[in-house]
């Protein structure tokens, strides 16, 4: 399925497909999604949209495994019609947030996982002056950076996380 998700069940089904794919540092797409969402829930327990964005930010990799450059936009197009514009924006902006962090914190690059470092080049590396200004003017920039930091920290093999079903009520609440 590459079009917009119509139901929460469709989103959960696509995420479940990530259980057997996409290992980066020994963590599958599903494990990564669950870790990221859990981290954001701990940081912002009342921000269901941010948590959902953390859960779904890399769903584009499951939908189209070979598209490292466009996975953020693909994910946005998949989730936004069902979960709203803020979730969609955060999902897409997590890529630009990585590029922004590399731009403003050059040492951030050295902490990237192998997969994130490889995709950074495909995504354009550091931001240009104009790209940086546009990102910093976006009303979701700070939350996208928070999501990006959780994204990079959510690659711990064997970490005990919530189940996928734990996220159904969160996604249902956003429909």
Q: Across residues 151-172, what is the average pLDDT? A: 96
Establish if 2 belongs to a structural domain.
Answer: no
Q: What is the CATH number of the domain that holds 62?
A: 1.10.3210.10
Number of domains in the chain: 1
Mean pLDDT over all residues of the chain?
Answer: 94
Q: Is residue 81, in this structure, part of any structural domain at all? A: yes
pLDDT band at 2 (very low <50, low <70, confident <90, very high): low
* 1: in domain: no
Q: What are phi and psi of 115, to 5 degrees?
A: -65, -45
Chain length of the chain: 175
How many helical (H) and strand (E) elements, i.e. helices and strands, does the chain have?
10, 0
The per-residue pLDDT for range 84-142, each reduced to its tens digit, is 999 999 999 999 999 999 999 989 999 998 888 988 999 999 999 999 999 999 999 99
Q: Is residue 3 in a domain? A: no
Residue 66 lies in a domain: yes
Question: Domain range spanning residue 121?
Answer: 8-174
pTM for the whole structure: 0.94
The predicted structure's pLDDT at residue 26: 85
Whether 85 maps to a domain, the answer reads: yes
Q: What is the pLDDT of residues 62-86, one digit of tens each?
A: 898 877 778 899 999 999 999 999 9
Place of tokens 């924006």: 89
137-169 as b/e, with b when 16 or more CB fall inside 10 Å?
eeebbebbbbbbbbbbebbeeeeebeebeebee
Nearest 5°: the CA angle 144, 148, 151 is 135
């Amino acid at each position: 399925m590459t079009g917009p998700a119509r139901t929460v069940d469709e989103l959960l089904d696509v995420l479940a497909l990530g259980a057997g794919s996409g290992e980066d540092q020994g963590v599958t797409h599903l494990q990564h999604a669950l870790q990221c969402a859990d981290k954001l829930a701990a940081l912002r327990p009342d921000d269901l949209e941010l948590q959902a964005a953390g859960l779904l930010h890399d769903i584009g990799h499951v939908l189209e495994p070979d598209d490292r450059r466009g996975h953020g936009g693909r994910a946005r197009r998949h989730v936004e019609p069902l979960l709203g514009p803020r979730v969609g924006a955060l999902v897409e902006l997590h890529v630009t947030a990585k590029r922004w962090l590399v731009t403003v914190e050059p040492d951030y690059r050295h902490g990237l996982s192998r997969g994130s470092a490889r995709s950074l080049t495909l995504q354009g590396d550091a931001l240009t002056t104009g790209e940086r200004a546009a990102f910093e003017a976006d009303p979701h920039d700070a939350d996208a950076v928070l999501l990006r930091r959780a994204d990079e920290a959510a690659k711990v093999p064997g970490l005990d996380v919530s189940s996928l079903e734990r996220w159904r009520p969160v996604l249902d609440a956003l429909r």
